[in-house]
Amino acid sequence: MKKTILFLFLACTFGVNAQDFSFGADVQSRYVWRGAQLGGESASLQPSVEYTNGKLAVGAWGAYSLGGGETAAQEMDLYISYALTDAISVTVTDYYFPGAKGAGHYLETDHGHTYEAAVSVAVTDGISLMAANYFAGDNDGATYIEASYAADQFTLFVGGVTGDNGIAYGTEGEGLVNVGVSLEREIQLSSTYSLPVNSSLILNPDAESVFLTFGFSL
């Protein structure tokens, strides 16, 4: 599976124009994903690169702890996304954790990888639904469902899981794990450049934990 995703990533990006690519990086005070703190107790550098061609997008995304000593929390993902319509898109992602127990080099072992298929639907202007299932790899079987509402500079979201094995999201089968609000704005630093910043308040009711994060994009 991981070789297939890597092959598709390379095939889609071979011989394309440089203007079809975009890249950047985020710096976050904590790496919190779907209600779980994955990056340890330190800031996280999150680089990304993406190739787009019409309705197709192929990309890579990473998360690297800036605190040191958090090798198990490092992450590098590959994904392929396709817009079926203006409102519906499907995405397949290979989540790779090189520091996970039993993980070897990227192509050497099944350990350290989790594969996800996701469907996103824009229900109305501002309201979106997303369902994602781990269909293979270390966390096979867990399903995550999220609803969100975006308006102006803020986004409200609520997400929960079913079929969890106690590892993927830390729940015993099912639970509400990701409730909160995110805010975004741009700080004008000069006449030609503004810095995008964001902050999120995230509650995980199942784990009884709460996070307040801050970050910026380069």
| pTM, 2 dp | 0.87
Closest-CA residue to 178 (of 79, 73, 53, 37): 37
As its CATH architecture, domain 2-217 has Beta Barrel (2.40)
Cα distance between residue 79 and residue 59, in whole Å: 5
Indicate the domain borders of the chain.
Answer: 2-217
Question: Residue 188 half-sphere exposure, CB side, CA atoms within 13 Å?
Answer: 3
Given a contact cutoff of 8 angstroms between Cβ atoms, the answer to whether 59 and 92 are in contact is: no
Cross-strand partners of 114: 95, 137
Q: Using one digit for the tens of pLDDT, what is the confidence trace for 86-123?
A: 999 999 999 998 877 767 677 765 678 889 999 999 99
Question: Which helix H or strand E contains 3, and what residues bound it?
Answer: helix 2-13
Indicate the pLDDT class of residue 177, thresholds 50, 70 and 90: very high
